[in-house]
Amino acid sequence: MASPLPSSVLDLAPVVPVVVVEDVSDAVPLARALARGGLPVIEVTLRTSAALDAIRAIAGEVPEAVVGAGTVITPAQVGEAVGAGARFLVSPGWTDRLLEAMRASGVPYLPGVSTTSEVVALLERGVREMKFFPAQAAGGTAYLKSLAGPLPQARFCPTGGIGPDSAPEYLALPNVGCVGGSWMLPQDTVAARDWARVETLARAAAELSAGGTCR
């Protein structure tokens, strides 16, 4: 049986791989490679027809991994993802209906924001932890630094355009708990099913984040 999770997605790991699974047969070996490399918290995006089955396979066959669902954009997907075994939920944006479904799911969740008004609206609804997306395009570390002064109670998982050079800069910010990214999953490497290379890149990402902490 899987162990209980912290109430916050931001407390799971400093770096969360954002995974797009095209072929469900890749899900288990990919998850094992990431976990062996020190990145056991895995966000499988609901962008493909294989995604739910991938979550189900990882949840059932890779106990060392903590699998969640990303790109959650409808209340129906919330139920489907949790039913498949997702242990956390991440959305690129939010509506009141989606927020209520995630709140009722019983698992940790991160609604997505990219503007100050969206952050304030979530704080008004009692949500203090959010995904900042698309991080680089929406202003990057400079934007998050600007938010820390007037909105210190908000904490973020930036995702979108983050790589090995910028990840430590994000993790050093007081209002960042973790970062999401796919730089450890190059398309050609995954297409070639080079799981040893994925493990090597995951290990480098885990070492890269060792200086930061998931606050």
Q: Which residues are catalytic?
A: 43, 131
| CA–CA separation, 116 and 122 (whole Å) | 10
